[in-house]
Amino acid sequence: MDPWRRRQLCFVVLSALWILASAVTRYSIPEEIPVGTVIANIATDLGLEAHSLLERKVKLDYIHSKKYLEINKATGELYIAEKIDREYLCPAKASSFCFLKMDVIIESPIRIFNIELEIMDINDNAPQFRRERIQLDVSESATPGERFSITNAVDADVGENSIETYYLSDSDAFTIEIQSGSDGTKYVDLVLKASLDREKQAVHTLTLTAVDGGVPARSGTASIIVQVLDTNDNAPRFDRQVYSVDLIENAPIGTLIMQLNATDLDEGVNAEVVYSFTLYTSENTQEKFSLDPSSGEIRVKDMIDFEEVKSFEIYVEAKDKAVNPLSGQCKILVFITDLNDNHPEITITSNQCSIKENEPVGTVIAVISVSDRDSGDNGKVVLSIHNAPSTILPFALNKSSEDFFQLTVTESLDREVKNSYDITLHVTDRGTPPLTNNKTISLTIQDVNDNAPAFPQSLYTIHLMENNEPGMLIASLTAHDPDLHENQYLVYFIIEKEIANTTMSMLFSINPENGNLYALHTFDYEREKEFLFHIEARDSGLPPLSSNVTVHIIILDQNDNTPIIVSPWRPQGAVIEEVIPRSSDKGSLVTKVIAMDADSMQNSRITYQFLQITDSTLFSLDQYNGEIRTTRMFSYRDPRHQHLVIIARDNGDPPRSATVTIKITTVEQVVTQFTETTEVPIEYDLFTDLNLYLLIGLGSVLFLLLITILVIIVVKCQEPKPSQAEPQGRNSVSSQRNSSTIADSTLISSDAYWYSLFLAETRKGNVVVRQPLPNGAGFIVSSIPGSAALTETSASRSSTLQESSSDLP
């Protein structure tokens, strides 16, 4: 980067930092408050987010002072880090005001805030005398009314807490007289009220007490030892009691102000005069001027600023060198002449940091005062608005009184055109050469509540896995409002909607502050598959605006149901017995295993495998439809009984499974005859626990297939068949559906079960008949060979039904 562009970049950065640091935040606290005391919340006062302070690396930069304060970066609170002593911080008593100045600096983006902390005085210091023992020599020739300078007390406190008065212990010869200097300091003189007689009393011991004006008052004492001396009856005298002199400020050190000359009518040692500052002369004055004790020359000792002190009072004492010296006093008034060495200052006495865009023309934004510490033409100032080139601001300055101006709106404001203004005020004095100063007012244009909250999308589709934890966070729905401040503070809530005798607020909950959506219940995919409701976001404006969004929650299936063997049906733990002829051909259907799973999709896809098999070369199992067929013909070596264990496993993760044991008996010839039907009541409560949606889909398909098959059966039944006196045989298949046989499983449709059983039996050439039991206790299912189905009379069916009913509990 070339040097010219580098200088331009530095100028822009310094200008930005100056603008950011222009505003001043002021606080006032008493001194000596405990460490850890919270003064204020910087985040709230400066309009910052408390949780962002740590990320933005907030810190305090102190200006010429110790680290008295610290910021809690978690809460934004400004607290005391070290006890503050006002007297240590502001030792000079020229002003009762004491300020601690610091900068608050934050990053990302960088901002600087000026903070002034006024330290208010408390009465924590008692008056103290410079000397606890004051030795005073008084000639016995002193006349009543003569005054004696004594050491006055000092109090580090200021204002009302400084010295208020003095008290003298009881004395017949002395009293005190209290005087006040121009700076309010109390001085005390010891006054002789009666003639002294050294022969009667050579020493007078007095106690002087200084009391301040605090509540409660504090005091300090000093002992005054008055030694009565013999007569040196002529004191040095000045030609005038008060001298007046002018001195230009910033005069060089060593400049001669004046030379004093006191005369003493005595002779010899008693006429030699020594000059010194009296105790009336303040310490500040003695620091600014020097006094030669022999010649009486007064010179400048330190730099003098007109703006700090406009005049000085110097009290000088001339004392002779007699054994019992006498003294004379005078006062020198030094008046400081002003120079144009101070820049004019701009003070924002009342300021609106932000106004609404619909504020009328003439609205007062700020009240501004200007001042210059100089005097005369040097202190006269002119204030104006400093505009950028080709920029016209919709504001003007109107003078309201002497040195006070009002900044007002002159044109209508439009936040959409410009949402903030930086108004630079320029002030210059009339000195030679003139001095100037600038101050920038940052004004934010507030938006009115004319924008409703808006969601990023009109429909949220949320997928939620079943068996969720209650109170689980399922989504965060956040709307955006382009308005500002309270107009963009949003509140979220669910629009109530009744479903299945409950409301949405009983199923779901939304955090009204951040839009986090929670599930209040554990959902079961087999019971509820989806929910559709609305969520409204409403701002905090007046009047409030709102919008809503549609939420579609889809419950996802989880493999939480175990497959159920529905065919061939057997009581729990029972072995299925099948009889086939040994002459069965290769590929003959032995039986078909049917399992059902209440889950959906991959979780309900079932495959079948042999878990145990007596001879793996004899039977095959179709892994998809569960058909067991012979893979070859039986030989004389094959045992008569074959034992098979089939496992039905779903495709879930992890998979679930169920097993069925089938005992296959081979016979030389199958005798078809009716045997006693095993009849087991079917509990009807199976229907109530099945998912309604599964019933609708599966029932519709099965109903159409059932109608088609029934029509075919009815047509075949109408064909003439030779009657038989006695049916050759009948196989009964009993099925009982109750809570003991299908424990802890998702209930399925009874129609689906009957249809699955129907398919299994009809493929073996049998006809399935389902007959209700008396009093609605259940159903009896009978499997009848196809050859005997048409010859079965109604009487035999009736007897079978009565016989089976009598066996029911």
**Which range is most confident: 194-208, 673-687, 733-747?**
194-208
| pLDDT for position 255 | 93
**Which range is most confident: 5-9, 342-346, 519-523, 565-569?**
519-523
Q: Nearest-CA neighbor of 229 among 265, 272, 271, 197? A: 197
| pLDDT for position 325 | 86
pLDDT in tens, 397-409: 898 888 899 999 9
Q: Nearest-CA neighbor of 271 among 312, 309, 319, 229? A: 319
User: Does the pLDDT of residue 193 top 50, yes or no?
Assistant: yes
Least confident of 91-95, 332-336, 426-430: 91-95
Helix (H) or strand (E) holding 751: helix 750-762
Strand partners, 581: 667
Q: Nearest-CA neighbor of 209 among 245, 170, 173, 238? A: 170
Q: Nearest-CA neighbor of 280 among 245, 331, 213? A: 331
Least confident of 29-33, 263-267, 426-430, 460-464: 263-267
For residue 683, name the pLDDT band (cuts at 50, 70, 90): very low
CA quadruple 372, 89, 21, 363: dihedral, nearest 10 = -60
pLDDT in tens, 98-125: 888 888 888 878 888 888 888 887 888 8
β-pair type (297-300, 289-291)? antiparallel
User: Does the pLDDT of residue 677 top 50, yes or no?
Assistant: no
Tell me phi and psi for residue 96, to 5 degrees.
Answer: -85, 0
| pLDDT for position 202 | 81
CA distance 119 to 60: 18
CA-only gyration radius of the chain, Å: 55
Helix (H) or strand (E) holding 750: helix 750-762
Least confident of 248-257, 392-401, 780-789: 780-789
Least confident of 78-82, 170-174, 725-729: 725-729
- Give the DSSP per-residue string, 566-596: EES---TTPPEEEEEETTPPTT-EEEE-EEE
| pLDDT for position 675 | 38
Mean pLDDT of all residues in 332-342: 88
What's the mean per-residue pLDDT of the chain? Answer: 78
| pLDDT for position 759 | 47
Mean pLDDT of all residues in 447-467: 89
Given a contact cutoff of 8 angstroms between Cβ atoms, the answer to whether 440 and 425 are in contact is yes
**Which range is most confident: 29-33, 121-125, 253-257, 522-526?**
253-257
Helix (H) or strand (E) holding 803: helix 794-807
User: Does the pLDDT of residue 237 top 50, yes or no?
Assistant: yes
What crossing angle do the helices spanning 750-762 and 692-717 adopt, rounded to 10°?
40
Least confident of 195-204, 423-432, 694-703: 694-703
| Max CA separation in the chain (angstroms) | 178
Mean pLDDT of all residues in 602-620: 87
Given a contact cutoff of 8 angstroms between Cβ atoms, the answer to whether 101 and 43 are in contact is no
**Which range is most confident: 75-89, 544-558, 596-610?**
544-558
User: Does the pLDDT of residue 472 top 50, yes or no?
Assistant: yes
User: Does the pLDDT of residue 543 top 70, yes or no?
Assistant: yes
For residue 785, name the pLDDT band (cuts at 50, 70, 90): very low
Compute how many other C-beta atoms are within 10 angstroms of the C-beta atom of residue 804. 21
Residue, of 376 and 239, whose pLDDT is higher: 239
Cis peptide, bond prior to residue 654, ω within 30 of zero? yes
For residue 230, name the pLDDT band (cuts at 50, 70, 90): low
CA distance 524 to 599: 10
* Region class of 348: left (phi > 0), else alpha (psi between -120 and 50), else beta: beta
User: Does the pLDDT of residue 804 top 60, yes or no?
Assistant: no
Domains of the chain: 25-120 (2.60.40.60), 128-229 (2.60.40.60), 237-337 (2.60.40.60), 345-446 (2.60.40.60), 459-556 (2.60.40.60), 564-667 (2.60.40.60), 749-776 (no CATH)
| pLDDT for position 2 | 52
| pLDDT for position 560 | 82
User: Does the pLDDT of residue 658 top 60, yes or no?
Assistant: yes
Least confident of 105-119, 513-527, 671-685, 789-803: 789-803
Given a contact cutoff of 8 angstroms between Cβ atoms, the answer to whether 464 and 556 are in contact is yes
| pLDDT for position 691 | 57
Residue, of 272 and 483, whose pLDDT is higher: 272
| pLDDT for position 7 | 46
Share of the chain above pLDDT 70, in %: 81
User: Does the pLDDT of residue 60 top 70, yes or no?
Assistant: yes
Mean pLDDT of all residues in 459-485: 90
**Which range is most confident: 337-341, 511-515, 797-801?**
511-515
- Calculate ∠ Cα 167-172-173, nearest 5°: 90
- Say which DSSP state 492 is in: E
| pLDDT for position 492 | 94
| pLDDT for position 94 | 55
Q: Nearest-CA neighbor of 258 among 235, 273, 270, 240? A: 240
- For 92, 296, 575, 735, 783, the CA distances from 572, given in Å and listed in that order, are 101, 128, 9, 11, 20
pLDDT in tens, 697-750: 777 788 888 888 888 888 888 655 444 433 333 333 333 333 333 323 333 334
User: Does the pLDDT of residue 793 top 50, yes or no?
Assistant: no
Question: How many residues comprise the chain?
Answer: 809
Mean pLDDT of all residues in 373-394: 82
pLDDT in tens, 425-451: 899 988 888 888 999 888 888 888 878
**Which amino acid, residue 385?**
I
**Structure-token match 């530095």, residue found:** 10
Residues 6+ apart with CB under 8 A from 695: 749, 751, 752
- Say which DSSP state 480 is in: B
pLDDT in tens, 173-191: 899 998 887 777 788 889 9
